[in-house]
């Protein structure tokens, strides 16, 4: 009966909707025309900017202008910025079509990178260099495919090939393939980058920031540490200086800026009329809608019930532990509900897998010390080892390790439940840093590692001194463990606006880029062997993040393999 009522309502509304159909038809035509205009505008700007980026002058642009005019049905004219005509699509130009519509300049486009990527100039590789890099790229793609990673080669406007994978940059299988040869700059790029480095250095000479080195993708790095207090402000100028230097290098390789004038080929007035045929069509549409109302209602009811029934069956399978994904066949509200249900099912499966992995990790962490304790006790009971002080010391060490893992798990459980308590008080972070450095200096000296503390003035904040010592201690312990002999660990305390910044930097082995997103995960180690000589329980950094969140602060990590790692803590003053 409800569906019948809906049918009657649809039939009554259909007659009134006839007029709306006519208006909608007209509006659709207008919207389509506007969309075509926007597409034509994009085509004009992109094509002419691309021409300017790949040619030194506008001498050969006339065929391009004529082709664009034919495609867009517009009159197109170009002039220099001084007003001198360059090219016009009209056979017999009679003045310019209106005002300047845009300025075509490949060195100043409205993008995050203001220079059009097709403007390569001195960065354009030679044919021999392209063949060499193509061979490297082909070899790397073959290696990736052998590892089960699907990849392809994309050539950039400068001729440099790039290897792109379809599984994401964090796929650990890709680390087995060496891409260093492909990333190495070619002689052409080195020459252009050398010139660019010199221009950047000239731009930054008044800042005291030296040693900026630009990569082929125009990212940059400092090849030497700077002690200037203006370094932070100077680093913000580096991207602008790189862009300025690139413009200077590319200026002679691209066409000069030109003004673009666009106008209609003929009269621009368009009117929409509803003819007798149109009126008949609207009347016929009204009758057709009225006749189909009942059938549409029945079909709508059937289509509505089918996905709901599928969702019900999937929910039953989810309860029984089976697959709960439902195919998304529509884009309406039912489709949105289905996608939300699938997301919930995937999230539930992921949480279940994480739970199983965590249970296994906890069991492994607790089994090792318990197995050692049991083994030594049974050996003592059987008389194989004497129950002396050495045995007691070994058992005590395993018990301490077991207690440490349990304490870490309790801290994480309290943080997850929102019950992690802190006892804030006014404290000097500089003094806390010196105390932490002194506490770990003996351990560092035993490992051949040098610890230095830089905290030249007082930095007062409100925080829990015990928890903050725990945070800094965890980071210092990790840094010492992963820093080889003759290395150094530096603990720095600085101020950044209304934040107090604590940095723990080492010269250790570093962390691979694909591993950085996981360093704060529970039970995660870059060393998968679970050897305690190279890592702890895998809970320390997870606790650091939770404790920082409890203090209203943040923790981040920056690392370079073979150069070292820096953990940065930011606490509100």
Query: 125 exposed, middle or buried (CB, 10 Å; 0-12, 13-18, 19+)?
Result: buried
pLDDT single digits (tens) 347-368: 878 777 766 766 666 666 667 6
The per-residue pLDDT for range 33-57, each reduced to its tens digit, is 778 888 888 899 999 999 999 999 9
Same domain, 144 and 199: no
Instruction: Kindly state whether residues 340 and 369 are assigned to the same domain.
Output: yes
pLDDT of 345: 84
The answer to whether residues 173 and 247 belong to one domain is no
On whether the CB atoms of residues 83 and 90 are closer than 8 A, the answer is: no
> Is the residue at 42 inside a domain?
yes
Contact 447, 488 (CB under 8 A): no
Burial 179-194 (b: 16+ CB within 10 A, else e): beebeebbebbeebbe
Q: Within this chain, do residues 494 and 552 fall inside the same structural domain, yes or no?
A: yes
Same domain for 538 and 478, yes or no, is yes
Residue 314 inside a domain? The answer is no
Point out the residues of the chain with pLDDT beneath 50.
268-273, 529-535
Six-digit token string for 115: 């220079």
Please tell me whether residues 209 and 171 are part of one structural domain.
no
Asked if residue 545 is part of any domain, the answer here is yes
Q: Domain containing 368: what range? A: 333-416
pLDDT attached to residue 529: 46
Distances in Å between the Cα of 168 and the Cα atoms of 7, 150, 249 are 50, 10, 34
Domain boundary among 159, 183, 207: 183
Strands 258-264 and 499-506: unpaired
Residue 464 domain-assigned (yes or no):
yes
This prediction's pTM: 0.44
- Inter-residue contact 462 to 501 (CB < 8 Å): no
pLDDT of residue 171: 61
Choose the final residue of a domain: 183, 199, 214. 183
Asked whether residue 318 is assigned to any structural domain, the reply reads no
8 Å CB contact between 492 and 476: no
What pLDDT is attached to residue 188? 93
Are 460 and 556 found together in one domain?
A: yes
Residues 6 or more apart from 322 whose CB is under 8 A from it?
Answer: none
Question: What integer pLDDT is reported at residue 534 of this predicted model?
Answer: 47
| 320 in a structural domain | no
For residues 52 and 98, state if they share a domain.
Answer: yes
Which domain-ending residue is among 157, 183, 209? 183
Same domain, 192 and 174: no
Q: Measured between alpha carbons, how far is 485 from 447 in angstroms, rounded to an integer?
A: 6
Does 141 lie in the same domain as 93? Answer: no
Count of beta carbons in the 10 Å neighbourhood of residue 24: 12
Residue 492 maps to a domain: yes
Report pLDDT for 494: 93
Domain CATH code at residue 361: 1.10.287.130
Same domain, 446 and 568: yes
Q: Are residues 350 and 430 in the same domain?
A: no
Total number of domains constituting the chain: 5
């Amino acid at each position: 009966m409800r569906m019948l009522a809906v049918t009657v309502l649809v039939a009554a509304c259909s007659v009134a909707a006839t007029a709306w159909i006519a208006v909608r038809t007209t509006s659709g035509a207008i919207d389509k025309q506007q969309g075509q205009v926007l597409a034509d505008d994009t085509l004009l700007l992109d094509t002419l900017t691309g021409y300017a980026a790949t040619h030194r002058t506008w001498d050969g642009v006339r065929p391009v202008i004529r082709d664009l005019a034919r495609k867009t049905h517009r009159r197109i004219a170009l002039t220099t910025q001084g007003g001198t005509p360059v090219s016009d699509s009209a056979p017999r130009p009679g003045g310019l079509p209106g005002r300047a519509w845009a300025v075509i300049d490949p060195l100043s486009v409205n993008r995050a990178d203001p220079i059009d990527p097709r403007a390569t100039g001195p960065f354009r590789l030679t044919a021999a260099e392209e063949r060499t890099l193509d061979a490297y790229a082909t070899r790397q793609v073959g290696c990736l495919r052998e590892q089960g990673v699907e990849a392809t080669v994309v050539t950039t406007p400068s001729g440099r090939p790039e290897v792109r994978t379809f599984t994401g940059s964090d796929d650990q299988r890709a680390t087995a393939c060496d891409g260093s040869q492909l990333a190495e700059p070619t002689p052409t790029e080195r020459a252009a980058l050398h010139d660019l480095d010199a221009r950047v250095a000239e731009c930054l000479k008044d800042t005291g920031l030296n040693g900026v080195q630009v990569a082929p993708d125009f990212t940059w790095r400092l090849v030497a540490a700077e002690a200037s207090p203006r370094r932070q402000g100077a680093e913000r100028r580096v991207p602008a200086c790189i862009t300025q230097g690139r413009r200077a290098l590319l200026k002679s390789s691209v066409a000069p800026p030109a003004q673009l004038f666009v106008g209609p080929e003929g009269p621009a007035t368009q009117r929409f009329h509803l003819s007798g045929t149109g009126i008949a069509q609207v009347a016929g549409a009204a009758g057709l809608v009225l006749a189909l109302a009942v059938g549409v209602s029945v079909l709508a009811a059937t289509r509505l019930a089918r996905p709901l029934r599928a969702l019900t069956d999937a929910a039953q399978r989810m309860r029984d532990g089976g697959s709960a994904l439902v195919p998304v066949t529509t884009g309406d509200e039912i489709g949105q509900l289905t996608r939300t249900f699938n997301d919930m099912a995937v999230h539930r499966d992921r949480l279940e897998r994480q739970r199983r992995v965590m249970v296994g990790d906890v069991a492994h962490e607790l089994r090792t010390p318990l197995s050692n304790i049991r083994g030594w006790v049974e050996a003592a009971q059987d008389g194989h080892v004497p129950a002396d002080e050495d045995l007691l010391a070994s058992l005590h060490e395993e018990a301490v390790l077991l207690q440490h893992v349990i304490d870490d798990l309790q801290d994480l459980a309290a943080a997850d439940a929102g019950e992690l308590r802190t006892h804030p008080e006014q404290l000097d972070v500089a003094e806390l840093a010196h105390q932490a450095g002194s506490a770990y200096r003996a351990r560092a000296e035993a490992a051949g590692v040098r610890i230095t503390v830089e905290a030249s003035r007082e930095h007062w904040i409100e925080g829990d001194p015990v928890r903050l010592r725990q945070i800094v201690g965890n980071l210092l312990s990790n840094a010492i463990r992963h820093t080889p002999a003759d290395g150094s660990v530096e603990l720095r305390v600085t101020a950044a606006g209304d934040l107090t910044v604590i940095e723990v930097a080492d010269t250790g082995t570093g962390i691979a880029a694909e591993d950085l997103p996981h360093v704060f995960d529970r039970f995660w180690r870059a060393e998968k062997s679970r050897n305690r000589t190279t890592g702890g329980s895998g809970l320390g950094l997870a606790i650091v993040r939770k404790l920082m969140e409890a203090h209203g602060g943040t923790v981040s990590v920056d690392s370079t393999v073979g150069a070292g790692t820096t953990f940065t803590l930011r606490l509100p003053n």
